[in-house]
Amino acid sequence: MAMAIPQRVPWYMAPLRLLRGIFQVRRFPGVAMAILVFLLVIPGLFAEWIAPHDPIKGSLALRLKPPMWEKGGSITYPLGTDKVGRDVLSRIIYGARVSLRVSIEGIVVSGFIGTALGLMSGYFGGKVDALIMRLVDISLGLPIILVALVFVAALGPSFTTVIALVTILLWARYARQIRGETLSIKERDFIARARVAGASHFRIMFRYLLPNVVNTLIVLATLQVGFVIIFESSLSFLGAGIPRPTPAWGLMVADGRELIVTAWWISMFPGLAIMLTVLSFNLVGDWLRDHLDSQLKIV
């Protein structure tokens, strides 16, 4: 029995191995969750063509129409309307776009920063490692919502502010995880051979170390989607996230909280969208972790 040792691989091989594993459906117990993620992502990308109504314009004559299966409902507004006559289904579809954009941009920026710092920390060690890890400890120790509220109070609620907050709060998670991977990988023989061959520090980090932590980055990014959606929805619910009248799931839940007894659908359906999206991405992330980690198990 021998332990499979990670070797230097082309950067594009990890995503290709991942896609090959996903298409082997019999090995993917979370296929239902993957389909659900697909059904949530596609409407957000093509909201203009899928949404039946304008998500911002409403009519007071149509306010508080119930879902189509209840008395007074209409198939024209299958999930009902809110207190200013806007279609709930259309706003949920456009809200998926907001959540996806916040998640993708925030995770990409924070992942880039955290990965670069994590590689530097693990590779160089010493004072560089100590400084970066102290910054990581400070970042992870900050009260998330309190920092966000102070940040928004200073800069005002906007999409850019939310992205900045996501970046500030997530980079440390990437840095700590990538540092741990780097500490292990840099002791491998192929790294020693690269040093002997005269490879620069930059080349070793981004040509030899980075491809071997791609699997970890994929899993981390997938698992962080749910956190970002909950974070953005919480800020929007408190009025410190995406500003009105932009359709965001957190704002929709907040708009219906005063009418939860008489018009429950205003808060219920966006709340379900948040729950299903977060649950789906978390389950897919768990599967990815099990699948990608299996490549390093005893063989």
Determine which of 19-33, 124-138, 162-176 has the lowest per-residue pLDDT on average.
Answer: 19-33
Average pLDDT for 153-180:
87
- Is pTM beyond 0.75? Reply is yes
Could you tell me the two tokens for 210? Answer: 């980075």
Q: Give dist(CA 18, CA 288) in Å, integer.
A: 8
pLDDT of residue 69: 87
How far is C-alpha 41 from the chain's CA centre?
A: 12
- Cβ-contact 229, 250 below 8 angstroms: no
Closest listed residue to residue 88, CA positions, set 259, 247, 262, 258 = 247
Q: Is the pLDDT of residue 112 over 70?
A: yes
Question: SS3 of 81, please?
Answer: strand
Cis peptide before 67 (omega within 30 of 0): no
Integer-rounded Cα Rg, in Å, for the chain is 23
Q: Give dist(CA 169, CA 130) in Å, integer.
A: 19
Among the residues of the chain, which ranges form H helices? 13-23, 31-45, 47-50, 88-124, 126-141, 144-155, 159-185, 189-196, 201-203, 214-237, 249-256, 265-293
- Cβ-contact 297, 238 below 8 angstroms: no
pLDDT per position as a tens digit, 258-296? 888 888 888 899 999 898 888 888 887 777 777 665 444
Q: Residues with Cβ < 8 Å from 130, sequence gap 6 or more?
A: none
Burial class (CB in 10 A: 0-12, 13-18, 19+), 68: middle
Average pLDDT for 131-154:
85
CA distance to 14, 84, 143, 173, per residue, from 148 (Å):
35, 29, 9, 17
Could you tell me the two tokens for 84? Answer: 């200013």
pLDDT of residue 295: 44
Average pLDDT for 244-254:
88
pLDDT per position as a tens digit, 13-39? 555 555 555 444 444 555 666 666 677
Neighbours of 198 (CB within 10 A): 7
Classify 13-296 by CATH class: mainly alpha
